A and B are shown apart, each in its own frame.
Chain A
Amino acid sequence: MSIVYFTKDHEWIAVSGDEGVVGITDHAQHALGDLVFVELPEPGRTVAQGGEIAVVESVKAASDVYSPVSGEVVAVNQAAADQPGLINEQPESGGWLYRLRLGNAAELAGLMDRAAYDAFVQGLE
C-alpha cells in the first residue's frame, strides 16, 4: 500500500516504506503533448529535493523533471525510455520514471495530496 503525493511542478511520488516511485502527472503529460524522448538518471545517483533528475521531451520542447524529495535513485523505468508514449498513455502507473530511496521522509509533509493537487490544477485553468 502506497501513499501518493504531488508537487506544484506536476510530479507525483508513490511512497511505500522508505522508497518512492516518481512520475509526471496526467495534467503534465497532457500539457506537454506526445513525448518522444526521456532521459532518466543513472541508478545510484543522489538528488536533492527539487533537483533536476530527468528530462521529458515532446516533439517541440524539452522539460525538466524535478525530484519531489531528496534521495538515491535505485531503479529507472527502461520501458518508458524505450517507448516514451507510455508516459502519455499511463502517466501515473506504467509510465513511471524512477524509484528512489528517500533521503528525508519529513520532506513529504510539504507536498500535496491528490485532492489538494486537483484543486491546484483547477486553479491553473
Chain B
Amino acid sequence: MSTDPSLSRTALYDLHLALGARMVPFAGYAMPVQYPSGVLAEHTHTRAAAGLFDVSHMGQVVVRGEGRAAALERLVPGDLQALSPGQIRYTMFTNDQGGILDDLMVAHAGDHLFLVVNAACKAQDIAHLEAGLAGRATVEVLSGRALLALQGPAAVTALARLAPEAAAMGFMRWRLLEVAGIPCFVSRSGYTGEDGFEISVPDHAAETLARALLAQPEVKPIGLGARDSLRLEAGLCLYGADLDPTTTPVEAALTWTLSKRRRAEGGFPGAAVVQAQLAEGPRRLRVGLKPEDKAPARAHTVVTDEAGRPIGEITSGGFGPSVNGPVAMGYVEAAFAQPGTPVRLVVRGTPRPARVVTLPFAPHRYHKQ
C-alpha cells in the first residue's frame, strides 16, 4: 500500500516511513494512519501534551484582487468583508440548494486571502473558485507547500521555542512567521478542540521543520486515526461524513458561522433555502449522540425514536479515548434534537439506548486572550 505508485506523497513521506508509520491511501495520498505507539496513545498524548500532524494533502489557495472578499462572499455564507488583517474565519462553499460543497478556512493575509480546503474536494474547489471568481479575483494554488498541524495544550510551549512570537497570537489568527529560521504562514487554529497551530511551509523545508518540532520534548507524531477521534470528540465536522451537498449550514448546526449581515443580505448560493431554514427552523439537525452502553455506533447507523421509528442517521461515530467510551454525531428530525432526548441506535440489528447530547464531548480548550 505504501508503495502504490498511483498515490501522491507529501513532503514528509520519507519521514513518516522513518518514524515507522502505517501508511494508508487517503484522498489520493499515502498518509500515516498511525505510528507505532497506536491510535489510543497518540490521541491521549495530543490532549495531554502536543501532537504533530501532516496535513499537507489539504489544499492551500491564495485569492487576490481588489474586491476579493466581496467576490468570495458570492460563494460562501461567511462574513469575509468583516475580517481584519490576520483574522481567520471558518466557512463553507454552498450549492444552489444551500448544500455544502466543502468547508474551509479563510485567512485575511494582508494583500490576499489564504484558503485551506479539504484534500478530497481540492480539485473541485479550485474549479469552483476559478469559475465563481472569474473577472473579480484571481486564484492561485500553492502546490509546493506542506501543512503541519501542531495541536495540544503544550503546542504553544513547543512552538515558541522555535518562534517566540507564536505565543502572542490569538485564537483564529494568522501571520507570517519564521519558525526555526524558515519563513512560514502560521495560524492559531486546528481540528482537535485543543489549542494549537497550523503551519504552512515550503516543501523543501518541511522535513527540517517537522524534525525541529519533533525534537521538542512535548511533541510526538500523530496519524490520521487519532486526528479523526480527536475531532469527533471535539464535535467538529468531517466533510464527506457529517457535511455533504445535501446538508445545509443550518441543518449542520453551523449557524454560528453566519453573521447578521450575511443572514440578512444573502448573496451566496442557496441563500433563500438557508434564510427559510433560519426563519422556520430546519427539518433535521446535527446533534451529538451518546450511546448509553459500551458498543460504538458507526457512521450510517440508523437512529430511531424509543418506539423504533427511524428519525435519523449517524454520520460519524466511534470510540472516544478521552471520553473512554463510544461517541457519535448525526442528523435527527428537529423534534428530537433537544439535549437529553432518549433515542435508539440500531447496531448490528439491535436497538441500543442513547441520548442526544450537546457537543462537544471533550471540552474545547482553545487559546483565550
Contacts and interface: CB of A to CB of B under 8 A. Distances in A.
Interface of A: 33-34, 36-37, 39, 55, 57-62
A34 B39 CA distance: 7
Interface in B280-301: 294-296, 298
A58 B22 CA distance: 15
B39 A58 contact: yes
B295 A39 contact: yes
A11 B259 CA distance: 55
Interface string B307-331: 0000000000011010000100000
Nearest to B232: A59
A55 B348 contact: yes
Contacts of A36: 40, 296, 319, 321
B348 A59 contact: no
Contacts, number: 43
Nearest to B225: A60
B298 A59 contact: no
B229 interface: yes
Given A58-B319, A59-B229, 5 more contacts: A33-B225, A36-B321, A37-B294, A57-B319, A60-B228
Given A33-B34, A55-B348, A57-B319, A62 B296 contact: yes
- Which label, helix, strand, loop or mixed, suits the secondary structure of the B interface? mixed
Interface residues of B, number: 20
B57 interface: no
B86 interface: no
22 contacts: A33-B34, A33-B39, A33-B225, A34-B38, A36-B40, A36-B296, A36-B321, A37-B294, A37-B295, A37-B296, A55-B348, A57-B296, A58-B39, A58-B319, A59-B39, A59-B225, A59-B318, A59-B319, A60-B39, A60-B228, A60-B229, A62-B298
A37 B326 contact: yes
Given A33-B38, A37-B319, A59 B295 contact: no
A26 to B, nearest CB: 15
A61 B326 CA distance: 12
- Which label, helix, strand, loop or mixed, suits the secondary structure of the A interface? strand
Interface string B149-186: 00000000000000000000000000000000000000
Contact of B321 (A39, A57, A59): A59
B47 interface: no
B43 interface: yes
A59 B294 contact: no
Contacts of A58: 39, 319
Contacts of B298: 61-62
Interface hub of A37, A58, A59, A61 (most chain B Cβ within 10 A): A59
A106 B159 CA distance: 63
